[in-house]
Amino acid sequence: MTKQNTNQATADQFQFADPSKLNSQHDGVAQKSLSFHEKAWHQLKHDHAAMVSLVFLLLVALFSVVSLFWMPHNPNAQNVDLSNLKPFTNGSYILGTDGLGRDMLSRLLYGTRISLMIALFATLVDILIGVPYGLVSGWCGGRVDNVMQRIIEIISSVPELVLIMLLLIVLKPGMVSIIIAIALSSWVLMARLVRASAMQIKSADFVLAAQAMGESPFQIALHHILPNTMGVVITRTMFTIPAAIFLEALLSFIGIGVKAPNASLGTLLNAGEKGFQFYQYQLWEPVLVLSLMMIAFNLLGDGLRDAFDPNTRG
Amino acid sequence: MKKYILKRLLMMVLTLFIVATLTFFLMKMIPGSPLGNTMKLTKAQQLAVEKQYGLNKPVWQQYLAYMGGVLHGNFGMSYQYNSTSVASLIGHRVGPSVLISFQALVLGVVVGIVLGCVGALNKGTWADAASSTLAVIGISFPSFILAILLQYYLGFKLGWFPVANWNGFPSTILPTVALSAVPMAQVSRFVRTEMVEVLNSDYILLAKAKGLSVAQVVFHHALKNSIIPALTLIGPLAVTLITGSMVVENIFSVPGIGELFINSVLSNDYPVIMGLTMFYCLLLCGILLLTDVVYGLVDPRILSKEKGEH
Amino acid sequence: MTEDVLTIKHLSVDFQTLEGTVHAVRDVTLKLHPGEVLALVGESGSGKSVTTKTVMQLLPKNAKVVSGSVEYDGRDLLKLPEKELQNLRGNELAEIFQDPMTALDPTMRVGKQIMEPLLQHQDLTKDEARQKALAIMEKVGIVNAKERFRNFPYQFSGGMRQRIVIAMALICHPKVLIADEPTTALDVTIQSQILALIKQLKDELGTAVIFITHDLGVVAGIADRVAVMYAGRILEFGTVNDIFYHPQHPYTVGLLKSTPTMDMNEGDLESIPGTTPNLIDPPVGDPFANRNRHALNIDFEKMPPFFKVSDTHYAATWLLDKQAPKVHLTDKLEQRREHYAKLAEREAQADD
């Protein structure tokens, strides 16, 4: 802490620095400002589990699309001579055949496509009902909100699966009914989340500013509230899809979902379970496909939630 | 508080009334006679049966009769189980369901809390990764498949547990385990998130600054603050257990209401379906009300942290 | 000079973050004399809190002490095993946090929270601890202590909560108290009450205090000595008079000029241009150089050593070197000096 010897210092060092040096060095270095969605994407990219899941799901989607045009075999073509072939024993039937000699791989591709389609359409309906409902409820508030919330309370007082089964009894059996039944029972949560989000955004300064600028309530809801609830909607979607896949599988497994000759992961599980004692691959194959998809959706959903939620971001 | 509970009870009655009405008319909307599918009857027999169940009267009379019955706890007679009332059917079946659901709840909550705490306390280590992985699998892996696998490998192949007949505690083990997977995962994820947040809070730092050991900080301060908010999970957990018990009971042939419901759906036993729907609805409303009351007793201002719904 | 209670020597602390290693504290040396109040002044992010959290050994997991020592009672706190640290924390070393709204456990009755350090460090029965807790609650100004003892934190206002936090910190009569911006989160009217309380209690107990603040206005009222921190380094330290009347470092001068006082005109207030440097890649020389109108070339090349101004006053600025050009930093501060002198006088009178 004593005075140091500074004799070596040149006289020039003790001249005043060039003013251009001021505020230039180390000033705001590397402070790129990213938009909210860029930050979310940036965060998501570093979430390895979520990215692996995303790639896996994209691959599944790709296979499903390809299977529309080409499959190794006709998934419904029966060949009794080649029934119950074990996997990897026949070059033409890589994943083996089922009890009726149908190609397991083709049936899996087909079943996955049907399951995915049901889940995606159910989710779409879920969004189409849930988002506007939540938006109106949260944005209007007051008595409208009160009534809309009571309706939601009544619907959610019936357990989801019970409601779905009730609807399935009434509707004509078939894929459309399953989609409607699943969507009608699951939109409630989406509506609640969107409502909570809308109410939060409603009191934000930029909404007040928009009001002050004279924008109409409808414009504000459309241009300011809706875009800002997107994070919640996207995240929730990532949980709705696997839930729908699960419900479809469950219903078809019980025997009130997709009916033969159509195949879904649920009907494959149902078929696989019957012969499980003897032909275990017939259950394990759809089980693996289903659970990997479920895990991937959940991991991606977790990643998205962390990315969109500023609270969990460090 | 009393006023609040009263208000909620009124709302509950209203909800039940609406649900009963909707289910009744929903069932009436089904095309064709409910008896046509299951039994091959002559015209005369069919008329006799319809008369027995009151199906020959106009719909509004049937509705009034049904609602009148419901008020007295009479949900009609089952089609499938001849001359058994729905109420006594449910009464006989509710025991096993409650038993495995309760066991699964205890198992799931205890294991879930432990896993969640282990994860949060060792954030970023292999232990955290392991507990998180377990939780993701628990959430993702369909419970009915878990039930099939448990039944086959532990029950059938290894013979450790009884597979099909419902007889005493051993036969409850596998259904309980299969049913507890999802609650376990839900609780563990919730507690982990809460605990991570709590451990980062000022009052935990202050507790450390007072000279408390890590164990004291966790047990005196962190644990309570992370677990109390988990009360909000009870509603979702109840739904999870109701859904899960239907399939799990079906697979393990547990003589419970879940199995009864699925069988009734498969055999179009409408009075049972309606009765069980009301019962489930009552159960869920009751649980939610109870949760809110407990939450109110633990003063809400203590739990003032605003929680977004997950 | 009497024996120091606490000596921080050449302390450097790094943080690992996603963006890189943040050098939050760089070569900090500080001494705390017995019974004094040492104010640690600087903008947010200057490393004040990190320094004191290192003393308490309560750094977050991603922080790492790179070098240095913290000597207390003949021992280096940085090398003590956790068990012994626990014996010191809350007992001989205590801390008051910035935000009383978050510093209390929301689910535990305040009485129990106040008793906790006592039960931890002293061999007392629950009843004795209760009596002591009630006594200190009354001392920090909580009326109806007996009834309030069983209340939960939400039943108290911010100022009352801070009194409770102070009671917890002082209940074991610590030798060293760290007050980390204890009044920042409070209303202005409550601020002065809390300051007066801390001052009164530390005089009664003879506790030495490290008082962290970004507000020089607060410093004048409470501190004996002041250390000015910027970008992880100490730039100047001295007695309150040294710092307020003879500031040497351009940053200290800038801070003084930007502190408002009651009777000032708006035009008198000056802000410091620019922003604080990035501590992931900290500047080599004087960290304040790029915001300093009087920066020398050498400021960008080499960290200045501490130049002695007086026995109590040291400053790290090349302007104090013999070869440096003479600079008159403090023109506008002249008026201020008079102002502070008046303030001090008034306070002295008030104390009598």
Q: How confident is the model at residue B218 (pLDDT cuts 50, 70, 90)?
A: very high
Q: CA gyration radius for chain B?
A: 24
The answer to whether residue B260 sits within a structural domain is no
- For residue B303, pLDDT over 80 is answered with no
Pair (B114, B250) in one structural domain: yes
Q: How many CB atoms sit inside 10 A of residue B4's CB?
A: 12
| Residues in Cβ contact with A288 at an 8 Å cutoff, skipping those fewer than 6 apart | none
Strands C93-96 and C176-180: parallel
Task: Write out chain C residues lying below 8 Å of B210, CB-based.
Answer: 89-90, 116-117, 120, 168
- For residue B287, pLDDT over 60 is answered with yes
Which residue out of A115, A150, A154 would a mutagenesis test of the B interface target, given it has the greatest number of B Cβ atoms within 10 Å?
A154
Question: CA B51 to CA B49: how far, in whole Å?
Answer: 5
The answer to whether residue A122 sits within a structural domain is yes
* Interface list for chain A against chain B, based on CB atoms closer than 8 Å: 150, 153-154, 157-162, 165-166, 168-170, 192-193, 196, 242, 246, 249-250, 253-256, 269, 273, 276-277, 283, 287, 290-291, 294-295, 297-299, 302
**Structure confidence at residue B45 (pLDDT):** 72
**Structure confidence at residue A1 (pLDDT):** 40
Question: CA A284 to CA C297: how far, in whole Å?
Answer: 74
Q: Is the dihedral of CA A113, A115, A117, A120 positive or negative?
A: negative
Contact (Cβ atoms closer than 8 angstroms) between residue B65 and residue B249: no
Question: CA C164 to CA C145: how far, in whole Å?
Answer: 11
The answer to whether residue B211 sits within a structural domain is yes
Pair (B67, B99) in one structural domain: no
Pair (B113, B228) in one structural domain: yes
Name which of C119, C115, C13, C106 is nearest C61 in CA terms. Answer: C13
Q: Convert the pLDDT of each residue in B65-76 to its tens digit.
A: 888 888 887 888
| pLDDT, averaged across chain B | 84
The answer to whether residue B268 sits within a structural domain is no
Q: Convert the pLDDT of each residue in C218-251 to its tens digit.
A: 888 889 999 999 988 999 999 998 888 888 888 8
Instruction: List the single residue in C with minimal CA-CA distance to B225.
Output: C107
Range of the domain at A101: 96-312
Name which of B257, B302, B230, B238 is nearest B104 in CA terms. Answer: B238
Q: Convert the pLDDT of each residue in A160-210 to its tens digit.
A: 889 998 888 888 778 888 999 999 888 999 999 999 988 888 888 888 888
Runs of H (alpha helix) within B122-212: 126-140, 143-150, 170-199, 202-209
The answer to whether residue B241 sits within a structural domain is yes
DSSP state of A16: B
Instruction: List the single residue in B with minimal CA-CA distance to A191.
Output: B309
The answer to whether residue A44 sits within a structural domain is no
CB pairs under 8 A between A and B: 100
Question: CA B44 to CA B42: how far, in whole Å?
Answer: 5
What is the CATH classification number for the domain harbouring A171? Answer: 1.10.3720.10
Pair (B99, B66) in one structural domain: no
Q: At B198, is the secondary structure helix, strand, or coil? A: helix
CB burial of residue C141 (10 Å; 0-12, 13-18, 19+): middle
Name which of A247, A145, A227 is nearest A192 in CA terms. Answer: A145
**Structure confidence at residue B190 (pLDDT):** 92
Q: At A73, is the secondary structure helix, strand, or coil? A: coil
The answer to whether residue B307 sits within a structural domain is no
**Structure confidence at residue B183 (pLDDT):** 93
Task: Write out chain A residues lying below 8 Å of C294, CB-based.
Answer: 16
Give chain A's domain count. Answer: 1
What is the CATH classification number for the domain harbouring B115? Answer: 1.10.3720.10
Which residue out of C278, C294, C302, C318 would a mutagenesis test of the A interface target, given it has the greatest number of A Cβ atoms within 10 Å?
C278
Residue A159: phi, psi to the nearest 5?
A: -55, 140
DSSP state of B39: -
**Structure confidence at residue C165 (pLDDT):** 92
Pair (B118, B177) in one structural domain: yes
Q: What is the CATH number of domain C229-351?
A: 3.40.50.300
Written in H, E and C, the secondary structure of chain C is CCCCCEEEEEEEEEEECCCCEEEEEEEEEEEECCCCEEEEECCCCCCHHHHHHHHHCCCCCCEEEEEEEEEECCEEHHHCCHHHHHHHECCCEEEECCCHHHHCCCCCCHHHHHHHHHHHHCCCCHHHHHHHHHHHHHHCCCCCHHHHCCCCHHHCCHHHHHHHHHHHHHCCCCCEEEEECCCCCCCHHHHHHHHHHHHHHHHHHCCEEEEEECCHHHHHHHCCEEEEEECCEEEEEEEHHHHHHCCCCHHHHHHHHCCCCCCCCHHHCCCCCCCCCCCCCCCCCCCCHHHCCCCEHHHHCCCCCCEEEECCEEECCHHHCCCCCCCCCCCCHHHHHHHHHHHHHHHHHHHC
Q: At B32, is the secondary structure helix, strand, or coil? A: coil
Residue C29: phi, psi to the nearest 5?
A: -125, 130
- Residue B182 distance to chain A (closest CA, Å): 13
Q: At A103, is the secondary structure helix, strand, or coil? A: strand
- Residue B198 distance to chain C (closest CA, Å): 10
Mean pLDDT in residue range C195-208: 89
Which residue out of C116, C136, C173, C210 would a mutagenesis test of the B interface target, given it has the greatest number of B Cβ atoms within 10 Å?
C116
pLDDT tens over chain A, length 314 residues = 444 444 455 667 777 777 666 664 444 444 445 566 777 788 788 888 889 999 999 999 999 899 888 888 788 777 777 777 787 777 777 787 777 778 888 889 999 999 999 999 999 999 999 999 999 998 888 899 999 999 998 888 888 889 998 888 888 778 888 999 999 888 999 999 999 988 888 888 888 888 888 888 888 888 888 888 888 898 889 889 999 999 999 988 888 888 777 788 888 888 888 888 888 888 899 999 999 999 999 999 888 888 887 554 33
Contact (Cβ atoms closer than 8 angstroms) between residue C59 and residue B205: no
Mean pLDDT in residue range C307-321: 86
Pair (B24, B152) in one structural domain: no
The answer to whether residue A53 sits within a structural domain is no
From residue A277, alpha-carbon distances to A255, A282, A284, B111, C52 in Å are 20, 10, 12, 31, 67
Q: Convert the pLDDT of each residue in C161-191 to its tens digit.
A: 999 999 999 899 999 999 998 888 888 888 8
Instruction: Tell me what percent of the residues of chain C surpass a pLDDT of 90.
Output: 33
Q: Residue for token digits 């009124």?
A: B10
In this complex, do B210 and C168 lie within 8 Å of one another by their Cβ atoms?
yes
- Residue B137 distance to chain A (closest CA, Å): 6
Mean pLDDT in residue range C239-265: 80
Last residue of a domain, one of B208, B229, B255: B255
Q: Which amino acid is it at C306?
A: F
| Residues in Cβ contact with A303 at an 8 Å cutoff, skipping those fewer than 6 apart | A44, A47, A49, A50, A51, A53
Among the listed ranges B81-95, B241-255, C141-155, C248-262, which one has the minimum average pLDDT value?
C248-262
Task: Write out chain B residues lying below 8 Å of C97, CB-based.
Answer: 202, 205-206
Which residue out of B243, B288, B291, B292 would a mutagenesis test of the A interface target, given it has the greatest number of A Cβ atoms within 10 Å?
B243
The answer to whether residue A55 sits within a structural domain is no
Range of the domain at B40: 2-71
Pair (B214, B146) in one structural domain: yes
Task: Write out chain C residues lying below 8 Å of B225, CB-based.
Answer: 105-107
Q: At A281, is the secondary structure helix, strand, or coil? A: helix
CB burial of residue A82 (10 Å; 0-12, 13-18, 19+): middle
The answer to whether residue B131 sits within a structural domain is yes
The answer to whether residue B304 sits within a structural domain is no
Q: At B211, is the secondary structure helix, strand, or coil? A: coil
ipTM of the complex: 0.84
Q: How confident is the model at residue C339 (pLDDT cuts 50, 70, 90)?
A: low
The answer to whether residue B285 sits within a structural domain is no
Question: CA B299 to CA B231: how far, in whole Å?
Answer: 13
**Structure confidence at residue A25 (pLDDT):** 43
Higher pLDDT, B308 or B6: B6
Q: Convert the pLDDT of each residue in C59-69 to its tens digit.
A: 988 899 999 99
- For residue C351, pLDDT over 60 is answered with no
The answer to whether residue A117 sits within a structural domain is yes
* Beta bridge pairs of residue C229: C234
Q: How confident is the model at residue B306 (pLDDT cuts 50, 70, 90)?
A: very low
The answer to whether residue A21 sits within a structural domain is no
Task: Write out chain B residues lying below 8 Å of C107, CB-based.
Answer: 224-225, 228, 302-303
Task: Write out chain A residues lying below 8 Å of B280, CB-based.
Answer: 158-159, 162
**Structure confidence at residue B188 (pLDDT):** 94
Chains near A, with 3+ CB pairs < 8 A? B, C
The answer to whether residue A221 sits within a structural domain is yes
Residues 220-279 of C with CB under 8 A from A: 273-275, 277-278
Instruction: List the single residue in B with minimal CA-CA distance to C112.
Output: B220
Q: Convert the pLDDT of each residue in C118-131 to its tens digit.
A: 999 998 899 999 99
Among the listed ranges A121-130, B196-205, C132-141, C289-298, which one has the minimum average pLDDT value?
C289-298
